[in-house]
Amino acid sequence: MIDLNDDFYKSLLDNLSDGIYFVDCQRKIIYWNKGAERISGFCADEVQGSYCWDNILKHINEQGLMLCHSICPLAATILDGQPREASVYLHHKDGHRVPVLVRTAPLYDVHRDIIGAIEIFSDNTLQSMITQRVSELEKLALLDPLTQLANRRYIEMNLHSRLEELRRYQWPFGILFLDIDHFKLINDTYGHAMGDEILRMVARTFTANMRTSDIVGRWGGEEFVAIVRNIDYQNLYNFAERLRILVAESHLIKESAVIQVTISIGGTLACADDTVESLLQRADQLMYQSKTAGRNRVTLAPS
């Protein structure tokens, strides 16, 4: 096993871009590298000495199932000594959900007895591409300053381009209209500063979990629009449902209060005779169907 008191090994592990942490057989975290700090937002002092099952990172899968108390890959590796790999979503310190690829392996002592495990996790957000896009939008004054998403003007411009491609080349795309549920109550209860934090948290969850070919922007207030290219009806629904689950499983902490929100989503595929206005109106109406049906749900129509 690596000697964690050895400065050479610590320096080596801290200079890796991946997040790495070690646990003992009770899943107490005994080491947390700089990559783990960067990806999760939690510094080593905040997590070392805590237990993995304390739900610090609160790993969930695509269905929103909490893994730390059920099918945790790290716990399974400690039990049977088999390495594992899984795509999961960790809870960032800032509240949003980050997609990561986790790989686990057992740790042995000199007698080949398992004494713990290591988890390596890699950021799956293609952050460099996102950073480049933000820079481009900033230059063109097409960026929403609060959320760092595309603004309404850019969304409208992009929709015009996508509709032209659809008519000319039959390249399919869909849109999602997303609205934070009971947002006024958040502002009234916790203040507008917390409302802004919630908007940023939701925006970060969107950007961390979208393909680089897709666009998500702030339409206004607590409303967002996503443009999803090269997609069919079922995959558009699956994509919207994943975003809904990830937002619902995100949270911020204010003093002792855990603040969570949900979103209602309406979505549709574009058709050749659509205009920007008709497409947005259809998705908006479907979003309101989600609201009237109880909120925190997805309503889709093919076209």
State how far the Cα of 36 lies from the Cα of 19, in Å rounded to an integer: 4
User: Phi, psi (5° rounding) for residue 238?
Assistant: -60, -40
Record the tokens describing residue 196, joined without a space: 């802004």
| H or E segment and range at residue 115 | strand 114-123
- Best CA proximity match to 205, nearest among 125, 303, 289, 291: 125
Residues 72, 74, 77, 83, CA torsion sign? positive
Number of neighbours of residue 98 by Cβ within 10 angstroms: 25
Number of neighbours of residue 11 by Cβ within 10 angstroms: 10
Whether residue 259 contacts residue 194, with contact meaning beta carbons closer than 8 Å, is answered with yes
Which candidate in 37, 119, 197, 222 is catalytic?
222
State how far the Cα of 276 lies from the Cα of 221, in Å rounded to an integer: 20
Residue type, 209: N
Residue tagged 């002592």 (tokens)? 109
The answer to whether 222 is a known catalytic residue is: yes
Beta bridge partners of 28: 51
Pairing mode of beta strands 263-269, 298-301? parallel
Residue tagged 């695509």 (tokens)? 62
CA distances from 83 to 33, 57, 119, 191, 276 (A): 20, 20, 10, 46, 49
What is the DSSP code string of 72-83? -HHHHHHHH---
- Best CA proximity match to 173, nearest among 83, 81, 267, 262: 267
Residues with catalytic annotation?
222
